Amino acid sequence: MIVSDRIRVLIVDDSALMRRALKEVILTDTSLEVVGVARDGQDAIEKVHELKPDVVTMDINMPVMDGLTSMQHILSDYPETSILMVSSLTAEGALATFEALELGAFDYVAKPSGTVSSNIHIVGREIIQKIKLAYKSVNKKSMRERVQRRSDMTPPKRVKLVKKQDLKEKSLSKVVVIGISTGGPGTLMEVLPRLPQDLGAAVIIVQHMPPAFTVSFAKRLNDACSILVKEADAGDVLKNGKGYLAAGGYQLVVRGESGVLRLSTTPKTIFMPSVNVTMESVLDAYGGKKIVGVLMTGMGDDGADAMVKIRRAGGITIAEDESTAVVFGMPREAIERGGAEIILPSYKIADAIIKAVRKA
């Protein structure tokens, strides 16, 4: 019997057109094979039991059983299976995608033009790349443990012990800049809710994410956190105890010590927003000693060079340890280049941020 060494993929979507289009995209790479297709969440569970795929591409809105419910059954029975969500660029699709990521999905690909996207080939390269990452790079044990830790967290993610209110205005103490990519939404939900309302620093979050998703993600973070979190707008001014999520499709930069935020379409980089661009603008505005740089899960090296500069300028830099990183790319590059003073698993990073902010 010949055993294939190709990555085995199951496609789940209620649209026959989408199933066919996704199959065509995936089969353009000879290292991948489509072992089957499923038309709804219940069918997906049965096909996973029968075919034992390595990776499942999962639609969210389907009849009989939706993708979120199906994913939870699959991960319960086959925790080593990687789930890649394929979701629509709508507010509803975004919220469901974030919930999936928090429940253990590896990552997502946004459909370019609605629930049925005949032009799915536009994101074909991204689909293939993320299927390979899901199979090879994902820290599956870490993801399961992270989901368990979040379920054990108190207070629950949507309950606040302290009512949000405007604290007495103080001059900006420090700026925490967090850079993150693949695996980021779930990891951020483990870190940001642990930051206290009186943190004494502004928090900038640069998450690689398409424009249509950042508004919804900012709202989800705000609901889960003690600090106020919003999508950054041009003209916003950095303040202690508030979080600013970089808007998708733009570079987020800080201009001058007044902490005014600007959105720019330049420079053109692979990722917009870019962690390097934002971190370097904060460094230019405030100098290193006022900055806490944090780099967590993600592929590539965005942010690694800026972390080196921040550390050399006297700032405190924190990188996520390989033991919890969903994809150990960005933090590894920062560590190897000497840009990480502190290296910790994700569940210890919030405490390290608090300690760094309060350090004289």
Centre a 10 Å sphere on the Cβ of residue 265 and count the other Cβ atoms it contains: 9
Does the annotation count 208 as an active-site position?
yes
Identify whether the C-beta of residue 51 lies closer than 8 Å to the C-beta of residue 10. Answer: yes
171 is catalytic: no
Catalytic residue among 40, 59, 236, 302: 302
| Strand-strand pairing, 342-344 and 316-320 | parallel
Residues 179, 337: Cα–Cα separation, whole Å: 16
Q: Confirm whether 121 is a catalytic residue.
A: no
- CA nearest 107: which of 83, 125, 76, 88? 83
Spatial contact of 246 and 205, defined as CB atoms under 8 Å apart: yes
Question: Which of 82, 137, 181, 226 is labelled catalytic?
Answer: 181
The answer to whether the beta carbons of residues 247 and 272 sit under 8 Å apart is no
Q: Are strands 174-180 and 291-295 parallel, antiparallel or unpaired?
A: parallel
Residue count of the chain, please give it: 360
Contact by Cβ (8 Å): 193, 223? no
Alpha-carbon gap, residue 117 to 139, rounded angstroms: 30
Task: Report residue 274 as tokens.
Answer: 């870019």
Rounded CA separation 216/92 (Å) = 9
Look at the block and give the residue holding tokens 């979701």: 87
Spot the catalytic one: 208, 216, 236, 274. Answer: 208
Catalytic residues: 181, 208, 302
